[in-house]
Amino acid sequence: MQRDKFEQLLKGLQAAEMQINQTKGREYAQGDEDALRNFKEAARFLGLTPLQVCGVYMYKHFASIISYADHEQSLSEESIEGRVADLRLYAALFLGLVLDE
């Protein structure tokens, strides 16, 4: 892949992440005040740490990406592009949790 096409890919992924954060992210966190709220609440409910909860959510998307690598196709309705965008966003949320401590 040519460098300029790869940079366009990165820009597209960033735009997808922002869209996910502005829709699903606000829904999961139940508003705009604390972007990490759902991890903290799930952690209290499950007796885990927020980082562990985020790790579980990240793993779900990572496992889907590994499945795609094995089968070279998506076995669900969600596209591989969506899974990669989700995993990138969860990585940023994970870092947010680390920095929030």
Q: Per-residue pLDDT averaged across 4-21, rounded?
A: 88
Asked if 51 and 91 touch (Cβ cutoff 8 Å), the reply is: no
Single pTM value for the model: 0.81
Residue, of 31 and 7, whose pLDDT is higher: 7
Kindly state the tokens that stand for 3.
Answer: 């460098």
* H helical segments located in the chain: 3-20, 26-28, 37-46, 50-71, 80-100
CA distances from 56 to 16, 44, 48, 87, 90 (A): 21, 15, 11, 11, 10
CA distances from 91 to 11, 32, 45, 73, 77 (A): 17, 19, 22, 23, 22
| Residue 78: predicted pLDDT | 82
CA angle 2, 78, 15 (to 5 degrees): 50
Domain ranges of the chain: 3-100
| Residue 99: predicted pLDDT | 95
